[in-house]
Chains A and B, each alone.
Chain A
Amino acid sequence: MGMQGDFFQLLKEQGYQFGNPVAAAAGIEVPTATTILALKYRDGVLVAGDRRATAGNMVMYDRTDKVLEIDRHSVMAIAGVPATAYEMVRVLAHSFKYYRRTQLQELSFEGKLRAVSKLLKENVPAALAGTGAVVPVFAGYDHEQGAAKIYFYDILGAEFEAVEYAVSGSGSPTIRGILHYQNTWGPQPLASLPEEQATVQALRLLSSAAEFDSATGGVNRELNLYPVVKLITEAGVRVIADGDLKRLYEQDVLRAR
């Protein structure tokens, strides 16, 4: 019943199906691969992602946005099969809106987390069949506790809270080590970085990931292509403009030769 404010249930009653297992046909390459990262900085959480979508060794698209806003205070960064991931984001965005409008209150942060796990669980058959695996990072601002939070998931829907940072996607092993090193022995812990420095870190990390992972797109200055960087603070989600990324990249990421 709609009275409970559960949009996903309502969709199911309408005959909607999510995450049907379809055996991967031999020879079909499903687009995947990515590097996404989320890290806590001084004012909240920074979430960033490269912009490349690949299928096997082919680059499909170089302008993908993998850091998707679900509502004013939460984003989901996606690694895995984009078709499933985009659908998940659509379901989540509508579920949160529907809940807020029917119940006349925001869905709690825990409620939002549950909704993500629930969808991942529904998706298990498709994930195991190889056509729908999604490994997202969910980040948002929890108004109840007055803190920004990061959660990451495995493909079966298990939820883990990240204390300082989370990474996902094919390029993530490279930057996981860097994050650990920076956070532990760097000039200052990531959580104390101001906004601009956190953004510089994100650009450096994604450039490193692109260096070692062919499926991660780094910065393409000729085409003026920069990663997507979004900040979540108490005030909501904010996208860093390409102009600012360009300036920071030229100033603090490029090394003069």
Chain B
Amino acid sequence: MYEEPYRWIEAVGNRRHYLDEQFTKGAPVVASAYADGILMLTASRGTPKLYEIYDRIALGGMGHPADLEKLRFSLLEMAHIEGFNRSPSDVTGARLMKYGLAPAIKQAFEEIYKAPFIVKILLAELGTRPERDLFLTINYDGTFEESRRWASLGATATVQAQMGRYLDSQPGFEQAPLKQAVETALCAWAVGSLAQAASSAAEGEETPGLAPADTTAGDASTLPGKDSLLAHVRQTVTEKSLECILLERNGPGSSKYRALGSDELGGLLPSGISTASPA
């Protein structure tokens, strides 16, 4: 029944609707530059969402763990074969995205008889110099974007934009020391998490995809204050645990990726927030 173009477009539309639904309960991911490299942060329940891909490349994901795992393995395979056959400097985030992830995700999305990948992925690449740091994000339909200084994953494009808007309202965050950068990233994460909660609460009344946040985007005064953002984080950590990884420009050896353990992360968090695993 999908042979007719109209039916196909309709099927893809349904699929979009179905997929949008899958992310509403997911935790957003924030990645941003800081004084010594890049940090990435999210809150997760059980399965981790942040991973090491190669010497200078980290991955953050939203969506179904099995899909994420499958794509993570294909990226790892591609990166290591390339790094071995050519050289570690030839393994770049842009190539992994364009040739590794995008075609596979797009194909799965459009083959309407098969299951799509329920994922959104963020790749952060640490450059040799800060101006070479690069962030790449890809949506479940295979569209990808490049950005500098920060990137985010959220249930909708609006949520992602809100998080970025928060970061942009913090002047000089990309040169902030780690402790301050963690706090800023936490707040940006809370902006996303709150926006997501608001848009799924409003879904009953409004047209899906046109959540109330859409109408207010661009207006900086609507961002919640830092106190209420941190209060939201404090509440989140009672049921989820925070995950934070770094790509450290001056780290020892060739692998620049380092996951912060709960003790170290605990020391960096603003007061009142603990990393103790939820009861």
- Residue ranges of A at the interface with B (Cβ–Cβ < 8 Å): 2-3, 7, 10-11, 14, 69, 71-72, 90-91, 94, 97-98, 100-102, 104, 236
- Residue ranges of B at the interface with A (Cβ–Cβ < 8 Å): 48, 51-55, 73, 76-77, 80-81, 83-84, 252-253, 255
Tell whether, in the assembled complex, residue A10 and residue B81 are in contact, meaning their CB atoms are under 8 Å apart: yes
Given A69-B253, A236-B252, A3:B83 Cβ within 8 A: no
Nearest-neighbour CB distance to chain B for A238, whole angstroms, equals 9
How far does the alpha carbon of A67 sit from the alpha carbon of B138 in the complex, in Å? 42
Which residues does chain A contribute within 8 Å of B51, judged by CB atoms?
Answer: 101, 104
A–B pairs, 29, beta carbons within 8 Å: A2-B73, A2-B77, A10-B77, A10-B80, A11-B84, A14-B81, A72-B252, A72-B253, A72-B255, A90-B84, A91-B84, A94-B80, A94-B83, A94-B84, A97-B55, A97-B80, A97-B255, A98-B76, A98-B80, A100-B52, A101-B52, A101-B54, A101-B76, A101-B80, A102-B73, A104-B48, A104-B51, A236-B252, A236-B253
Given contacts A2-B76, A101-B53, 14 further A-B pairs with CB under 8 A are A2-B73, A7-B84, A69-B253, A72-B255, A90-B84, A91-B84, A97-B55, A98-B76, A101-B51, A101-B54, A101-B76, A102-B76, A104-B48, A236-B253
Tell whether, in the assembled complex, residue A71 and residue B73 are in contact, meaning their CB atoms are under 8 Å apart: no
How far does the alpha carbon of A10 sit from the alpha carbon of B83 in the complex, in Å? 13
Nearest-neighbour CB distance to chain B for A166, whole angstroms, equals 24
How far does the alpha carbon of A44 sit from the alpha carbon of B48 in the complex, in Å? 34
How far does the alpha carbon of A71 sit from the alpha carbon of B77 in the complex, in Å? 19
Tell whether, in the assembled complex, residue A3 and residue B73 are in contact, meaning their CB atoms are under 8 Å apart: yes
How far does the alpha carbon of A94 sit from the alpha carbon of B76 in the complex, in Å? 11
Which residues does chain A contribute within 8 Å of B55, judged by CB atoms?
Answer: 97
Which residues does chain A contribute within 8 Å of B53, judged by CB atoms?
Answer: 101
Nearest-neighbour CB distance to chain A for B50, whole angstroms, equals 11
Q: Which residue of the partner chain A has the closest CB to B70?
A: A3
Which residues does chain B contribute within 8 Å of A100, judged by CB atoms?
Answer: 52
